[in-house]
Amino acid sequence: MTTAHPSSRERHRYEPTEVLPPGETLRETLDALDMSQTQLAARTGLSAKHVNQIIQGQAVLTHETAISLERATGVPARFWNELESRYRDHLSRAQERKNLAAHVTWLKRMPIAALRKLGKITADRNDEPRVLQQALDFFGVAGVEAWEEVWENPAAKYLKSAAFKVETGAMAAWLRLGELEAAKVSCEPFDRVRLKAILPELRQLTVLTPTEFEPRMRQLCASAGVAVVFVNEITGCRASGATRWLSPTKAVVQLSLRGKRNDKLWFAFFHELAHVLLHGKRSVFIEAEDIAKQGTGPPREEEEANNFAAELLVPSMYNDDLAKINHWAPGQIRAFAAQLGVAPGIVAGRLQHDRKEYRLGKDLFEKYELSD
């Protein structure tokens, strides 16, 4: 399988350490023209005091003033406007760095090392304000308070019932990586009828290799308005899957391959599709650790998603046949899987879960990896 991590080209900003106010250029222009500030004031209709304030960088060089300077000096107004814009941008960014310096402790909550490895953070480690700027850029928010509102609060809401420690910063970063990937996926508008109709074909994909099933899985789901993305787990995240809506017409199913077994992947996949089909568009569903054991969303909705996935993969009408299987007999498991039309690992995983015998069927599972 291929990873969903993008190549991540950093948007390098040109941020000089010093930018002179346009008044310095105006001073040089007046010297070249052998024109005094008083003469410029007379030609432009500005007061001598105002001209001096512009030269000292104390007054803003407005668009109207730029036009007056163009007529008086012959230098295009757009040139003066660009100088002023660049200078004000420099002042704003310098002030932002000072403001961000008060929030650098927030970085301790973020998986900066992982984001640096992915190319999302490229700033010098010692330049904490710049690292913070890049982290905020990655999350697509203006500040730490906005990050808490957009990323931390939704994640915390669905992880508060987890019986294990999950780092919200790592979870938020993993979700953001999935969001960025999903935004690249072209989908038809969401179609609930279409999604239900393709479930049997999606189930048939379980017997194929990753190179065979992955593109078809993505294609089928996109045709129903669901973007499927694979994103490697970030340390501290412990996520196996997540579901949310990018828009009213586009859902996202995000998978990490936690557990790296084919049965876990397919159960997670259909569990997430259940959230798409059965539950609200305003909700964010995050599954951490083993989905079948521990749900982190509302208990009823997690139970519904688990039951949906279990019924789809091994229908309850076959429970009696399942109960008769000798779980130490791989041949019986393979034969039953062939009867169902699913991969043997899916049946073995179901038996492990039902019988709490986690040594059985180890040779029946396929191992999956997301390449870097």
pTM of the model: 0.83
* pLDDT value for 158: 63
* pLDDT value for 157: 65
Question: How large is the average pLDDT for residues 285-294?
Answer: 66
> For residue 2, is pLDDT > 50?
no
State the DSSP string of 263-314. HHHHHHHHHHHHHHHHS-TT--EEEES-TTT---S-HHHHHHHHHHHHHHHS
Contacts of 361 (CB under 8 A, 6+ apart): 327, 330, 333, 344, 345, 347, 348, 349, 351, 352
> For residue 5, is pLDDT > 80?
no
3-state secondary structure of 81: helix
Q: What is the pLDDT confidence band of residue 8, given thresholds at 50, 70 and 90?
A: very low
Do 228 and 218 touch, CB atoms closer than 8 A? yes
Q: What is the pLDDT confidence band of residue 13, given thresholds at 50, 70 and 90?
A: low
Do 346 and 360 touch, CB atoms closer than 8 A? no
CA 361 to chain centre: 36
* Of 170, 29, 347, 372, nearest in space to 363 by CA: 347
Domains and CATH numbers, the chain: 22-101 (1.10.260.40), 104-155 (no CATH), 165-364 (no CATH)
User: Quick one: tokens of 92?
Assistant: 């704003």
pLDDT tens digits, residue range 120-136? 999 999 999 999 999 99
Distance CA 267, CA 149 (A): 31
* Of 90, 27, 87, 95, nearest in space to 61 by CA: 87
Helix extents (H) in the chain: 22-33, 37-44, 48-55, 63-73, 77-101, 112-117, 128-139, 144-147, 153-159, 168-183, 192-204, 210-223, 262-278, 299-313, 319-323, 330-340, 344-355
User: Quick one: tokens of 59?
Assistant: 């007054």
Report DSSP state, residue 244. Answer: E
Helix 168-183 crosses helix 128-139 at what angle (to 10 degrees)? Answer: 50
Query: Dihedral sign, CA of 42, 48, 54, 56?
Result: positive
pLDDT tens digits, residue range 186-202? 999 999 999 999 999 99
